[in-house]
Structure 1
C-alpha cells in the first residue's frame, strides 16, 4: 500500500513536470514568434532600411536627371541623414545634406564594405535603387547595427530539439528524485493513517503516537480520540452484553424454582381425591409463587434500568429530616414491625436533597428491612440524620469481613440470611438508587457487633 501511494504520487509529480514543460515550450516558441513579428513590424515601420526602400516615392526624373522632392529633403533632415545619387559606375551625380568631405565615387567593393561595416566616421550606409540609378542614405552615429548571421536550418532545428530533449530529461530526473524523497515523507504517515483506519475497522482501539506525524499531526490526534471513544463504546457494549447475558441467566435460574412449584401443585390439583383444605393450600402456594415471580421480574427490570441509567428520576427538593422521620413512623405503624425496636434521631431540621421520593423510600426501606429481617427479633435499629448523611445501624449479628464485599452484588445472600425469603436484589437495587442520585453507600460491619450503612450525597 505504501509503495502504491508513493508511485501514484510520483506519477502525479512527473505528469505535472511534463505538462509544465509542454506549456513552457509553447510559451517560449510563441514568445519567439511574437518577438520576431514585433521586430519585423518595427523594422517595416521605423527602421532606416525601410526608410531607404520607401525613399523612392520622393524621387523623380526631370531632364534626364534624378532629383529629390522638397518633402524628401525634409524627411532626410528629420532622420538626420544625407543622400547621394549614383550612376551605374558608382559616380556621385547629386548630393543632399552631404558633408563636404563626402566621397564622390564608390567602387563596388567600397559599397559592400561600407554597407556591412560603416565607415571610419561611424556613418551607417543604406542602399536603394531607382530605375537606372542607385542612391545612398547615410546616417551618422545610427543606433541601428548590422550583424551577419549564417544559419543552417536543419542543424539549428536539430540543436533546438536536442536542447529541449536534454532539458526535459534533466527536469524529469530532478522531479523524480525530489518527488521520491518528498513522497516518502508524505506517504509514510498516509500509509500509517490507512493502517490505523483498518485497525479501527478490525475493532483494535489502542491509541498510538506516531514518530513523525508531520502535517498530519491533528489527523493522528483525531484518530486517537476516535480510538479512545470507540474503545469506551466497546467496553460499554461488552458490559451491556455481559449484563444482558447475566440478566437472562439469572432470570432463567430464579424463575425455574417457582415455576416448578407452580407446575407441581397444578398437577396435584388435578387429583379428585384432594380435600377442599388441600386444594386451598395448593392454590395459595401457586399464588404465592406467582407473586414472587412478578416481584422478581420487577426487581430485575428495575436494577437493569438503574445500571444502564435508563430510569428517569422524578426529582423533587425534599426535606430529608422530615422524609426519613415520616418513613420510620409509617414503618412502626406497620403491624409486621410495630413491635420492633426502631429509634430515630436527627441533628438537623433543614436537610434538603433533590430526590425521587418513591425510589429513595424504597432504598431506605430495603436497608432497614435487612437490619430487621436478617437479625434476631430483639435487634435494635437506629436511624440517624445529620447535615448530609443518613446512617442506619443495628446491633445484630453483623457480617463476616469476607462477605461484605459481595453484599451489593445481585442475587447474593449472606450466611445469616438462609431462611429469609426475597429476590436477592434488595441491596443492589438500594445502592443503585442512591448512586443514580449522585450519592454513595458505605457499609461497615463486625461479626456479632452489628452493621452500619452510611448514605452520603455528594451535592
Structure 2
C-alpha cells in the first residue's frame, strides 16, 4: 500500500507540476505576444497618425505633410477633410472614396471601417486627417465598458486563477485516485499471496491483465498447497501408523530374541543368531525413532528444549556412555582443545546427544571389521566445532553427492546423517560430511557466551587426549 500511495503522490505532483508549467508558459507567451504586437501597433498605428497629422502645413497649392514623414510605410492612402466634409488633400486615395463626407459618415468611419478599409483619424489645425490601410490588413474593435465592471473583472482575475488551479488539482486527484484503485487492489492481492491466502481480484480497469495473472497464480498456489497438504497428511499418517503398528511385534521379537540368547548354550550358533536378532531389532527401533524425529524436525513439530549445556562435560559423558556398549575391535578418542571445554551453548542436550550417537554408530555400523574413532572439539572463528572421524571405509560417494544437494531421486540416503543435518540446522548450525582417510563429519554451532551453566565459572581442565578403549 505504501508503494501505491507513493505512486499516487508522484502522479499528483507530476500533474500539478505539468499544470503549473503549462500555465506559466502560456502566461509568458501571452505577455510576449501582447508586448510584441502592442509595440508594433504603437509604431504602426496611433502614434504615427498623430505625428503625421501634426506635420501638415499650408502651401501655395493647399496643404502638404512634412517631406520626411514617410507615412506611406504605415498606410496605403490618406486624406485631409475640412470642417465642411470636403477633401482638402489626398494621396493614393481609392476612387470610390474620393467624395465629400457628411458628419454622420465621419462619425461612423472614425470608430469603425470606411468601405471595409480600416482607418485611423486624427484632428489637427486644418481639419480631420484620415489614414487608411489595405482592406483585410487589420481587425478593428470598438466597444465600451463601465469602469466598475472593468475593475471587477480585473480584481477577479487572481481568485479565478486560484479556483482554476484548485479545479485542476481536484481533477488530477480524482483521476489519480480512480486510476490507482486497480493498482491498490493488485497490491492487496500480492500481499494476500505472500500470506498464502486465496486471491480473487476483479478483472476490470487498467490493471485487468495484472489481476487475471494474480488470480491464476493464486489458483495455482492454492492447488499446489492442497497437494502438499494431502501429501504431508498422508506421510504423517503413514509414519504414525507404521510406528504404532510395528511397535508391538518388534517388542515381541526383541523379547523372544533376548530369551533365546539367554537359554542357548554359550558361544553356540543359536546364541549368535539370537544376539543378531536382538541387534537388528535395535537397529529397526532406532530407524523408526529417527524417521519420526526427522519428520518432526522437518515440519517444526519437534519443540527444542534449550538449556545451558556445558560442552566439555556433555562430550565426556556422551562418549563414555557410548563406549559402555562398544565392541572389541573399536576404540574412541576424545580431544577437547580449550577453551572449547569451557563453552556453554543454549541447546537441546537430547538432540545433540542423538546427533553424536548417530555419527558414532554410523562409524561402527559401516565398519564391521573395527575402526578407530576420534572425537574432537575446538573453537574456530567464534564457533564451536565438533568433528567425528574414523579410519574406516568412509562414506560412499553417492551418499556424499546426495547430501551435497543432488537432484537424483535414486541416490542412496543415510537417514542418520540426514537427521544430524536437521539437528544442526535446528540449532542455527551446519553439518558437513567428507572422506579423509575415513569418514569425517563436522558440526559447527555459533557461540554466544562461555562458562559453566550452573556456576558461571570457567572450566579449568587442561587440553589433552582421553582414550576410551574396549
The alignment's TM-score, normalised by the length of structure 2, stands at: 0.40
The alignment's TM-score, normalised by the length of structure 1, stands at: 0.41
